[in-house]
């Protein structure tokens, strides 16, 4: 694999770098319920189609909706209009080189699966470059969009029921909130205080009329941030477990309702997924989610934590000794505080089979897709070689992950190249270096 250095343009469409694996990648969104408790994922998978450039008209946009920029502006403390202007100037229309609703490539070996959890103010497409790369090497990746108000934005299909009397279909509509008991509905105020119970569940009420209801990122209060993040962590872990349930239903050929895509063929996954090789992967808050998932969900056979945000574990580390399977932890030196590094060392001391690596001269955001800057980099240090280029960071991360997953799947992924080996020597450090950071 030669390192990718920039976004490309094909027939006037700017797109993420093409994945380097042998398979064309297909993708689709799955939302399993009309309520905000339903699973919402972007699926990346090997497609039986060939010639990704020839199918450029079927590429989805990287930014699904402008509301994701509005939510991100809340996190950054910027006016939404300014954020949208910056996005148009620096990113613009960017496409994902994957075939929308493509048929799955049939296989006799079955595909290992990966559940991917995004970081704070991320969303389901914010790590598309990494997910594309993994899918092109024969993995089915389910990228979760979390519904705990930690994503930049998300949405659900709000229901309305028609009146039982009258002949006019629109004569009397009432919102779902007026049908459900007030105490059972999920609102952000319940996340913000101790009344929030992640185990609550609501049954769907017949689909008559649906409208998109947006859930933008909600900033915490300083007094209750630790409590909030801990409760969000539990809810995120539950969502990831539900994604595993979804993948199991797809593999067993059970009918999976997708309220977003009427043409979605869930049957193509029947008998094609290897749930005995299910892996967790997450970045930042998603990495912390992975720690809790690995401690509470035995179906995950290994975990990959990309620069995990350890803040939710400041007061409670009781789940650390419960992790029974191995994991890989990649740390970006510039992001982690001393307290977080001590927690990571505490976690490492409990698990001898874990692997720790440190990525030097990089930023926390280098492991995700945002922002893709047009024409030139904004970092002088990157341009003169004092810090790693962002696509070099992604290439290095992809290679490290594939080698780790190859060990657990019994496959050999020949994806490294001379430039990747050079990047490893220059920017990647092992456990000995990590231990020195704690002192």
Cα distance between residue 308 and residue 294, in whole Å: 13
Strand partners, 304: 281, 328
Residue from 297, 260, 259, 255 nearest 280 by CA: 297
Query: From the candidates 65, 351, 364, 408, which is the catalytic residue?
Result: 364
Is residue 101 within 8 Å of residue 268, measured between CB atoms? no
Q: Provide the 3-class DSSP secondary structure of residue 67.
A: helix
Query: From the candidates 284, 366, 395, 399, which is the catalytic residue?
Result: 284
Pairing outcome for strands 24-31 and 40-47? antiparallel
Query: From the candidates 307, 366, 395, 399, which is the catalytic residue?
Result: 307
**What is the secondary structure of 262-323 as a DSSP string?**
TT--GGGGTTTEEEEEEEEEEETHHHHHHHHHHHH-TTEEEEEEES---GGGSS--TTGGG-
Tell me the C-alpha to C-alpha distance, in Å, between residue 359 and each of 101, 369, 431: 36, 17, 11
The residues, ordered by sequence, that sit 6+ positions from 346 with a Cβ below 8 Å of its Cβ are 317, 320
Rg (CA), the chain: 22
From edge to edge, which strands make up the β-sheet containing 94-95?
8-10, 13-15, 94-95
Query: 364 catalytic, yes or no?
Result: yes
Query: Helix, strand, coil % (nearest 5) of the chain?
Result: 35, 20, 45
Query: 284 catalytic, yes or no?
Result: yes
Q: Provide the 3-class DSSP secondary structure of residue 33.
A: coil
Query: 408 catalytic, yes or no?
Result: no
Is residue 362 within 8 Å of residue 392, measured between CB atoms? no
**Which residues does the annotation mark as catalytic?**
284, 307, 364
């Amino acid at each position: 694999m030669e390192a990718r250095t920039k976004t490309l343009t094909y027939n006037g469409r700017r797109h993420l770098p093409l994945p380097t694996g042998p398979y064309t990648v297909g993708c689709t969104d799955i939302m399993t319920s009309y309520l905000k408790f339903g699973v919402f994922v972007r699926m990346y998978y090997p497609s039986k189609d060939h010639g990704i450039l020839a199918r450029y008209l079927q590429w989805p946009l990287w930014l699904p909706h402008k509301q994701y920029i509005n939510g991100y502006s809340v996190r950054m403390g910027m006016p939404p209009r300014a954020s949208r202007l910056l996005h148009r100037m620096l990113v613009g229309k960017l496409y994902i080189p994957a075939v929308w609703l493509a048929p799955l490539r049939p296989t006799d070996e079955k595909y290992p699966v990966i559940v991917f959890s995004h970081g704070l103010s991320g969303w389901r497409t914010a790590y598309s470059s990494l997910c594309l790369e993994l899918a092109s090497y024969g993995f089915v990746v389910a990228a979760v969009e979390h519904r705990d108000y930690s994503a930049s934005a998300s949405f659900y299909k709000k229901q309305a029921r028609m009146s039982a009397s009258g002949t006019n279909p629109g004569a009397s509509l009432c919102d779902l909130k007026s049908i459900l008991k007030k105490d059972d509905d999920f609102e952000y105020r319940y996340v913000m205080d101790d009344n929030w119970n992640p185990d609550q569940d609501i049954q769907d009420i017949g689909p008559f009329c649906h409208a998109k209801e947006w859930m933008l990122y909600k900033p915490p209060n300083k007094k209750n941030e630790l409590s909030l993040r801990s409760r969000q962590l539990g809810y995120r872990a539950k969502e990831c477990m539900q994604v595993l349930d979804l993948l199991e239903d797809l593999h067993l050929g059970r009918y999976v309702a997708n309220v977003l895509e009427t043409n979605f063929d869930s049957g193509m996954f029947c008998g094609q997924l290897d749930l005995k090789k299910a892996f967790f992967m997450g970045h930042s808050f998603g990495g912390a989610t992975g720690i809790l998932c690995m401690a509470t969900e035995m179906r995950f056979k290994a975990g990959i934590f990309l620069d995990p945000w350890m803040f939710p574990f400041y007061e409670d580390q009781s789940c650390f000794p419960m992790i029974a399977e191995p994991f890989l932890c990649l740390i970006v030196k510039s992001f982690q505080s001393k307290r977080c590094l001590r927690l990571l060392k505490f976690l490492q001391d409990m698990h001898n089979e874990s692997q720790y690596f440190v990525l030097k001269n990089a930023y926390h955001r280098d492991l995700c897709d945002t922002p893709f800057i047009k024409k030139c980099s904004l970092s002088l240090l990157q341009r003169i070689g004092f810090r790693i280029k962002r696509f070099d960071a992604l290439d290095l991360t992809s290679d490290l992950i594939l080698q780790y997953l190859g060990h657990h799947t019994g496959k050999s992924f020949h994806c490294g190249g001379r430039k990747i080996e050079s990047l490893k020597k220059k920017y990647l450090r092992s456990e000995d270096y990590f231990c020195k950071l704690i002192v």
